[in-house]
Structure 1
Amino acid sequence: MSSKLRALLIGLSLAGVASAAILPDLASAQNRDRDRDQSEDDASKRAKKEEEWEQKDLRLAKRRADGPCPYVKVLYEAARYHEFADNKEASSDATWTGQINGVASDCAYKGDEPIEIAMIIGFSLGKGPKAPADTNTYRYWVAVTDRDKAVLAKEYFDLPVRFNGQQTVDVATRVENIVIPRASSTVAGSNFEVLVGFDVTPQMVDFNRQGKRFRFAKVKPQ
């Protein structure tokens, strides 16, 4: 079954006697311009984010499922990734961090055919003060479980990231052609769950279970 999981699967200035009277209006106009520019920038970012997450971007979105889709979620204890130099749990010793922000998914099946699932996973990834390079490859997984939570299949994926001198980057990646065979047409998608998470160490699992959050220390540009 594991082999059936495949990855295919972001001024103006015036001078003269009238200046004193005009300056307040200029400041107001400049503020309006800045607000407008900021609003346009925010709108552009929102549009980009909506485009990344829009369901129509999923290959299966126009196909119909005969029943409910499997429940797709991020596993809490594997939702965040924190790596520290020399295992020192401090912001000044952070190398790489990551968080899975959410998953948008779609499914399709009919009759007794297998369930096909496609998804888009959103990541926020960070480079800490002790990061040894400007690039890192994060590893995450997608697992299919049944109603009893038994793992039916699990596949690992690599997510290479270049920070380009930035401290954080947001990435949206697709995973497609997740195929879940069914014994008969009476077995609906609600009998299965699809879980997503980082490939984490036991120490990271404990960090996440405790509900800890990480914030970068301020670092002077080199």
Structure 2
Amino acid sequence: MRIAACLLAAAFTLSGCQGVRDSLSGPQPNPGPCPNALSLYDAYRVVNFAGEEIVHRNVGFTGEILNVVSNCTYSGRSASPIDMEMAMRLAFGRGPAAAGDSHTYDMFITVVRLDPQRNVTGVIHRETFQVTARFPSGRDRVELVEEFPSIRIPRADETTSGSNFEVLVGFDLTDEQLEFNRSGIRFRVTAGQD
């Protein structure tokens, strides 16, 4: 399993490097920076419980965003949009109370506008999507890479740079799941002890 995860990470890293190389060897450099792409802290993980009690034996399916990478190009020098491509590496788990060998996770991607102090001033676009993780027999963890090849961000004029925007991703959580994430509770498995 570790070899497969390493190969997946290596392939992901190499494909990300190719996109960066293509940008560097392009005909013209970007006239400004790319927007930040990142996971929203409160929504970077999801833990589903089967039952009311928050204990390890009730943990069903889990998910976590491990990494987010992106690249962008300005379509032209005028007020043309910024075109982004983004990918994220996800880890999924199958806890003791999980039923079945697959689970579909609800996620979101949001493009926000920022003021000069980096405060969010508005949502430009938000959409939800689903990612299905399949767990082969005998496996309780899998990793996937989800790619977004085309994110287009409009600019008001040629002085509007990518630093005026952020692209946020996360799991689309219920109020209870959000409260659990904010609580900071983690489960540690005791291994190798009597």
Instruction: Give TM-score scaled by structure 1 length.
Output: 0.72
Decide whether the 8 Å contact of 1:125 with 1:168 is kept in 2: yes
Secondary structure of 1:203's aligned partner = helix
Decide whether the 8 Å contact of 1:58 with 1:119 is kept in 2: no
Q: Deviations over 1:121-179 (max 9, x none)?
A: 01110011111210111111110001141221111111111101211101111112111
**Mapped pair 1:78 → 2:50:** no
**Mapped pair 1:117 → 2:84:** yes
* Identity of matched residues, %: 33
1:210 counterpart residue number: 183
2:136 counterpart residue number: 164
| Residues 165-184 of structure 1: pairs in structure 2 closer than 5 A | 165=137, 166-184=139-157
Q: Structure 2 unaligned runs (5+)? A: none
Decide whether the 8 Å contact of 1:80 with 1:198 is kept in 2: yes
1:106 counterpart residue number: 71
Measured in 1, the distance between the counterparts of 2:131 and 2:189 equals 21
Measured in 2, the distance between the counterparts of 1:96 and 1:142 equals 21
Measured in 1, the distance between the counterparts of 2:8 and 2:40 equals 26
Selected match of 1:144 from 87, 93, 111: 111
Decide whether the 8 Å contact of 1:120 with 1:175 is kept in 2: yes
Measured in 1, the distance between the counterparts of 2:70 and 2:174 equals 27
2:99 counterpart residue number: 132
Measured in 1, the distance between the counterparts of 2:190 and 2:96 equals 8
Deviation at residue 65 of structure 1 after TM alignment? 2.3
2:11 counterpart residue number: 51
Max radius of gyration: which structure? 1
Q: Deviations over 1:189-209 (max 9, x none)?
A: 000011110011111112212
Secondary structure of 2:51's aligned partner = helix
Instruction: Give TM-score scaled by structure 2 length.
Output: 0.82
Deviation at residue 53 of structure 1 after TM alignment? 2.8
Measured in 1, the distance between the counterparts of 2:11 and 2:160 equals 33
Give the alignment's Cα RMSD to 1 decimal.
Answer: 2.3
Measured in 2, the distance between the counterparts of 1:57 and 1:182 equals 26
Q: Deviations over 1:25-72 (max 9, x none)?
A: xxxxxxxxxxxxxxxx76x75454122133235499435422100011
Secondary structure of 1:208's aligned partner = helix
Alpha carbons of 1:60 and 1:72: their partners in 2 closer, same or farther (altered >3 Å)? Answer: farther
Measured in 2, the distance between the counterparts of 1:129 and 1:48 equals 26
Deviation at residue 214 of structure 1 after TM alignment? 3.2
